[in-house]
Amino acid sequence: MIISANRLQLVKSNIVNPPSAPISNALVADDVIYTVQVPRHPQTFAPSGEGNIEMQAARVFDQLKHVLECAGSSLAHVAQMTIYLVDKADAPEINRVYARYFTAPPYPNRATVVVKELLGENCLIEIVVHAIKA
């Protein structure tokens, strides 16, 4: 479901940020979807750094799939992705998990950035995604 305010539309899903954070989980501007995903607990959707990189990456990509579907799109419509990792050694595992979700060309344009840490406690991955509406 999408809620409109001016030319920006808020994408409504069961994945939300805490009420104290003035952040939208996903927005649509014209036909472009903008979203950021961090690993979240699958039942509470609270940010969660539990598990290894494979578990956290799978959660992030599952969440991305859900949010895009709520926005009227899909993984096949992801144009750009930036992946933030706290450990360079996790890159091969990220590629393996990524390949389960992005199975056919054209693949998203993608950059991977290694950072000292992420804001979510024990979070190993965060992604920024731009997609188009289906």
Q: How many CB atoms lie within 10 A of CB 129?
A: 24
pLDDT at 46: 78
pLDDT at 4 over 70: no
DSSP string, 24-93: -SEEEETTEEEEEE--B-TTT--B---S-HHHHHHHHHHHHHHHHHHTT--GGGEEEEEEEES-GGGHHH
For the chain, list the domains and their CATH numbers: 2-132 (3.30.1330.40)
pTM of the model: 0.91
**How many CB atoms lie under 10 A from the CB of residue 42?**
11
pLDDT digits (tens, 9 = 90+) for 39-66: 998 888 778 889 999 999 999 999 999 9
- Note the pLDDT tens digit of each residue in 63-105: 999 999 999 999 999 999 999 999 999 999 999 999 999 999 9
